[in-house]
Amino acid sequence: MSHTSDILSDNQHYAAEPACPFATAEYETSCEFTMPSSSEKSRIIIAVDKISYLRDGWDGADAPSISAKVIENIKRIVDLCKNNDLIGWSIEPNINGTIFLRFNDAAISLGADKFSYYYKEGNKVFGKNKLSFSPNTVIDTIRMINYK
């Protein structure tokens, strides 16, 4: 049995369904996702699509679901990014309703109207909080972190 994913075109976004029908959130490692390495944007969009299904209490406590506005913001960023901008970045939900983009010793927290970032350089931590959201500003931040 092959453990690959069928990727279906959806305008400019991609969605994938695991070919392994017994995979659940608890046993996510039961099936492998195989994605072409040249498709960083698709990899992030698949993760965003999964995050969009989280409901209040997804963390087992009282974390809010990720709002449609936050999901829309990250998709706008991915649409405008170059594929190489996202190499090595991971994405995950945050318990405060934002989305974290992580790369090595750096993170961007993306909300509905604001974003924050930090990165470590040596023993120092740099960053800014509560910046006004604009896709281009976040992309510039991603690129700045990529070249540190």
Domain extent listing, the chain: 66-146
pLDDT on residue 107: 97
Cα–Cα distance list, 64 to 51, 61, 110, 117 (Å): 12, 9, 14, 21
| Distance (Å, whole) CA 119 – CA 128 | 10
Asked whether the whole model's pTM tops 0.95, one would answer no
| Spatial contact of 130 and 141, defined as CB atoms under 8 Å apart | no
pLDDT on residue 7: 39
- CA 115 centroid distance within chain: 14
User: Which regions in the chain score pLDDT beneath 50?
Assistant: 1-37
Q: For the chain, how many residues are written?
A: 148
| Spatial contact of 96 and 103, defined as CB atoms under 8 Å apart | no
Is domain 66-146 given the CATH code 3.80.10 in the classification? no
